Structure 1
Amino acid sequence: MNSDDLDLFARIVKAGSISRAAIEMGVDQSTLSRRLGQLEAGLGTRLLHRSGRGVAATERGQRLLEYAATVAGLLAEAEQSLQAGADQGPAQLHIAAQPTLARMLFAPLAQALRQRYPRVRLRLVEGLASQLLEQLSDGGLDLAILYVPEHPGPLRFDPLLSEGVRLIAPADCPLPGSTVAVGGLGGIPLILPSTHHGLRVLAEALAARHGFGLDVALECDGSIALTRRLVMDGCGCTLLPLAAVADEVAAGRLKAYRLVEPEVRRSVGLVLGRTRTPPAALWEAARLVRAQAAALVQSGAWPDARLADG
C-alpha cells in the first residue's frame, strides 16, 4: 500500500461509485476495479460495501479513510514547506567576476539578488581569471562572470555580452583621431600583464594574426587601478575595455582609441560552478545576471558593450 492507493480509495468513496470515480480520474473502470481488488487483497479485508446504488466504506474502510486523510494532509504540508523553502532561495551564493565586470555588475546584481532572496548569504568575489577558474574547479564558486579566453578549454561559457577593447593612452598622446589600426600596435609601447593573463594572450594573438611584434614597455600584474595610474604617468599605453577607464577618459586624464581593421572585441560569458547549490537557484542567479547586464547595456551605462545574440 502506498499514498497512490490511499488517494484512489478516497476518491472512490467520495464519488460513491467505481464508474463515476473512473470518469473523474480519467482512467478505465476495469483498471480502477483491479487496483481496488489488489488493495483489499493486500490488506486482507473488504473496504467497500457494493450495491446497485454504488459503493460505501465498510467499518475498516472508514478507518482507512482517516489514514488517507492524514497522509494527504502530510503530503500537502511537505509540499508547501519545500516550496516555501525553495522560494526563499539557497542559504548562500558565491559569485565571482573579473575586475571590470565586477565594477559594472556587482552593485545592481547585489540589489537584485537581495530583493529576490532576502535571506541569502551573498559573497561577491573579484579576481583574475586564473584565480577564479581554480575556485570554480574546486567547487568554491556558484557562478563566475568571465571574459572568454582565446582557448576556453573544456569549460562551458554561456554567452552574455561583448566589449570593445581600446588602446588606452596618456592624455598628451600625440596619436591623431579616435581610432588605431590593429597593425599599428606594433610601434606603441604597451603596459601589459604577464603571459598568463587574458589581455596579454589577446595582445599576442593579435600580433601573431596581423604580423607585428609587441613592444612591451613593462609588465604589470597589479590591479587595473595601478595600470591606469602607470598610463596616466606616461609609462606607456595599455589595452582595456572602455568601461574600465570611462571616468578617466571623460575627465580628460586618459585617451581611448577604438581598435579597428578589424574591430577588437572580447566576449563575456557565465560559468556555473559544480556546487551543492540547487540548480534552480543557480539558474535564477544567472537569469538575474543577464537581466542586470541587459539593463546596463540598453541604458548605455555599460559603454561599448553589446548583448550576445539570443
Structure 2
Amino acid sequence: MQMHSFQPTDLEYFIEICRLGSISQAAIHLGVSQPALSKAIRRLEQIAGARLLDRTARGISPTEMGCILVQRASLILHELDATRSVLQEMSGVRTGSVSMGVPPTLNHGFIPDVVELAVQQRPKLHFRVSEGLFQSLLPQLQLGKLDFIISSPTSLEALATDLQCEPLGSNLFVACVGANHPLTQLNNISDESLQQYGWVLVPPPGVLRDQLDHLFRQRGLQPLEPQVETSSTMLSKALITRQNLIGFLPLEVFAAEEQAGIIQRLDVPWLHWRRELALVLRRSRALTPAAEYMVNLIRHQAAARLERPAQPH
C-alpha cells in the first residue's frame, strides 16, 4: 500500500485557499504556482480519503471535512511555531514570537510601554498584537492564533472549561467631554442633562455597556441610546472633541488630551466604573518560552501600573 504524506506548507496553502476562496488568488498572495497549490490539495485529499473543497461559480469553499481541517491545521502550524520558539530559546537565541489580544483602551499607554520594555530586553522578539473586545478575540485564542488575551470577560464567560482567567488589575472609566461642551459650564450636572446630549459608546454585548446601563438604572434613568457605537478609542476621542459627544473612557486613554485641555472629565460622582482586567489563557495549551516571558512581564507591569484587582468576596 502506498503511504501518502504532506508538508506543513500544504496546510498553509490549504488555509490560504479557503481564506481567499480562490486558488489563483492564493497563488498570487503566496507567490507560488497554481499547479503547486493543486498538488498540495490532492495530497491532503488523498490522506483524508474525501473531497476537502467545493468548487462553485462563486469560488472555492471548504467542505464539512475541509472546515475541520482548517481548524486543526491552524493548531498544527501554531504548535510548529511554538516548537521552533522552544528550540531557539533552549539554544540561547532568546527570540521567538508572541501573539496577544488586547482591548483598545490598553493600546494608548500600557501595551506600547510593555512592548518597548520587552524589545529592550529581547531585541529579536517578534510581536503580533490583535485589538478587540473579548467576544472577537476568544475564537482566535481557542484556535491557537493567540497565546493569551488581556480582557474583561463576564463571570459566565470566565467559567468556560478551557479558560484560565487571572486578575491583573483595574482601570477607572469616567464620563468625559470636549473642552467646549455645554456641560462644562454647569456647576451641578443633573441626571436629566446627561440624556440631553449624544453619546459615543462601545457596542453591546459586553461588560462595559452592561455596567453603564446598570449605573443609569440605579439612578432610575433609562439606559443610554448612544448616537455612535464603536470599539475604537481613537474615533471616540475624535467625536468627543469635534462633535460634542459624551464618552465613557478610562482615564489613561485621554490623559494626554486632558493635560492639553482638549478633553475633560465630567464631575458626576455616581458615573464611574472600575473595569477589572484579566489575563486569559487556555488551560490545555502550554505557553512558549517567548509567550511565558511576555506574560510575566505583563504581570509585573500590571502590578506597578494598574489598580490592584478586586478581592473576591
**Residue of structure 1 in register with 2:150 after alignment:** 145
Q: 1:178 to 1:201 in 2, by over 3 A?
A: farther
Partners of 2:271 and 2:105 lie apart in 1 by: 23
Per-residue CA deviation, residues 91-137 of structure 1 (Å, 9 max, x unaligned), is: 32112211121222222322333345444332222223322122112
Partners of 1:181 and 1:86 lie apart in 2 by: 64
Which range is displaced more, 136-145 or 179-188?
A: 179-188
Aligned-residue Cα RMSD (Å) equals: 3.5
Partners of 1:180 and 1:144 lie apart in 2 by: 38
**Residue of structure 2 in register with 1:211 after alignment:** 220
Partners of 1:86 and 1:272 lie apart in 2 by: 26
Amino acid at match of 1:243: E
Tell me, yes or no, if structure 1 residue 226 matches structure 2 residue 235. Answer: yes
Tell me, yes or no, if structure 1 residue 307 matches structure 2 residue 308. Answer: yes
**Residue of structure 1 in register with 2:112 after alignment:** 107
Amino acid at match of 2:307: R
Q: 1:123 to 1:175 in 2, by over 3 A?
A: same
Partners of 2:117 and 2:141 lie apart in 1 by: 23
Per-residue CA deviation, residues 31-65 of structure 1 (Å, 9 max, x unaligned), is: xxxxxxxxxxxxxxxxxxxxxxxxxxxxxxxxxxx
CA contact (8 A) 2:101 2:129 kept: yes
Tell me, yes or no, if structure 1 residue 134 matches structure 2 residue 135. Answer: no
Find the partner of 1:190 among 196, 199, 224.
199
Q: 1:144 to 1:152 in 2, by over 3 A?
A: same
Partners of 2:247 and 2:89 lie apart in 1 by: 50
Q: CA deviation at 1:259?
A: 5.1
Secondary structure, aligned partner of 2:266: strand
Partners of 1:87 and 1:277 lie apart in 2 by: 20
Partners of 1:143 and 1:256 lie apart in 2 by: 32
Find the partner of 2:180 among 167, 172, 180.
172
Find the partner of 1:272 among 263, 269, 281.
281
Which range is displaced more, 274-283 or 147-156?
A: 274-283
Partners of 1:165 and 1:94 lie apart in 2 by: 27
Per-residue CA deviation, residues 130-150 of structure 1 (Å, 9 max, x unaligned), is: 221221122111121113446
Amino acid at match of 2:131: E
Q: CA deviation at 1:218?
A: 0.7
Amino acid at match of 2:249: L
Q: Point out the structure with max Rg over C-alpha.
A: 1
Tell me, yes or no, if structure 1 residue 242 matches structure 2 residue 251. Answer: yes
User: Which consecutive residues of structure 2, in runs of 5 or more, have no partner in the other structure?
Assistant: 1-85
Secondary structure, aligned partner of 1:260: coil
Partners of 1:223 and 1:262 lie apart in 2 by: 21
Find the partner of 2:269 among 257, 260, 272.
260
Amino acid at match of 1:110: V
Q: 1:113 to 1:276 in 2, by over 3 A?
A: farther
Tell me the TM-score normalized by structure 2.
0.59
**Residue of structure 2 in register with 1:251 after alignment:** 260
Which range is displaced more, 281-290 or 267-276?
A: 267-276
Q: CA deviation at 1:181?
A: 8.6
Matching of residues 144-163 of structure 1 within 5 Å: 144-149=149-154, 151-154=156-159, 155-163=163-171
**Residue of structure 2 in register with 1:98 after alignment:** 103
CA contact (8 A) 1:101 1:146 kept: no
Partners of 2:144 and 2:283 lie apart in 1 by: 5
Amino acid at match of 1:125: S
CA contact (8 A) 1:272 1:282 kept: no
Q: Name the count of aligned residue pairs.
A: 222
Per-residue CA deviation, residues 135-183 of structure 1 (Å, 9 max, x unaligned), is: 1122111121113446534243211111111101121233468997989
Q: 1:123 to 1:117 in 2, by over 3 A?
A: same
Q: CA deviation at 1:86?
A: 7.0
Q: CA deviation at 1:289?
A: 0.4
Q: CA deviation at 1:241?
A: 0.5
Per-residue CA deviation, residues 62-82 of structure 1 (Å, 9 max, x unaligned), is: xxxxxxxxxxxxxxxxxxx97
Partners of 2:191 and 2:303 lie apart in 1 by: 29
User: Which consecutive residues of structure 1, in runs of 5 or more, have no partner in the other structure?
Assistant: 1-80, 298-304
CA contact (8 A) 2:177 2:247 kept: yes
Partners of 1:86 and 1:233 lie apart in 2 by: 54
Find the partner of 2:293 among 260, 284, 305.
284
Q: 1:273 to 1:141 in 2, by over 3 A?
A: farther
Q: CA deviation at 1:283?
A: 3.7
CA contact (8 A) 1:191 1:238 kept: yes
Partners of 2:176 and 2:152 lie apart in 1 by: 19
